[in-house]
Amino acid sequence: MWSNIIREFSDSPSQNRVIRFLLENGFGVSREGKIVCNGIEIPATHIAKAIGTDRRVVDTTAQRILDSAFLQAIFTNIRATPDLSLLTEPLGLSAITVLPKDAREKGIVEAAVGVITGNNLNIRQIFVTDPQLSEEPKLVIIIEGVIPGKVIEGIRKLPQVKSVIL
C-alpha cells in the first residue's frame, strides 16, 4: 500500500518528499487541506522548512491528497503515537532495536516477541518501520525493566536478525 502512495507522487520529487515526511511522522491532512498531527494543525511553512522545500509544495501535496478518494481516506484518518524509546530512562524501561537481514521476511516480530515473552518480560510497545518507507527498516521493542543478557543473545541468534542495538 505504501508503495502505491509513493508511486502516486513519482511525477514530482518535491511532493514525493512531502508525502514521505507525512507518512514517516504519522501526519495527516484535514478536510480543509491543512497538515495535522492528531488533529492539531502544523503550518505548511514548518513542514517545508523541515524537508527543504517551499510551502506551496506542501499545500499542493495536501490538496492532491484530498483530490484522491484513496489518499483522502488514509490521510484524514492517520494518527501519530508516542515513541517510548525516547523515554526509556525516565520511565524505567529498556529498548532493544533489531535490524533484520530482510525486512520483507515473515515472522521477524513473532520470533523476537517469542524470545521476550518466553523469558517472562512485559512488552510496553513495539514499533516497526516499514521497509518501503525506510532505508534501514528496524523493529524496536520497549520492555519493562532491564533486558537480561540471555534475551539479547536469544534475539541476536535468530536467523532473521542481522544485528541488535541497545
- Per-residue pLDDT tens digits for 42-74: 999 999 999 999 999 999 999 999 999 999 999
User: How far from 98 is each of 24, 82, 118, 148, 161, CA to CA, in Å?
Assistant: 18, 19, 17, 15, 7
- Provide Rg for the chain, Cα atoms: 18
Say what the pTM is.
0.74
Q: pLDDT tens digits for 136-154?
A: 889 999 999 999 999 999 9
Assign domain 84-165 one CATH number from 2.40.50.430, 3.30.460.10, 3.30.750.24, 3.30.70.260: 3.30.70.260
**Strand pairing of 35-37 and 40-41?**
antiparallel
Instruction: Enumerate the domain spans of the chain.
Output: 2-75, 84-165
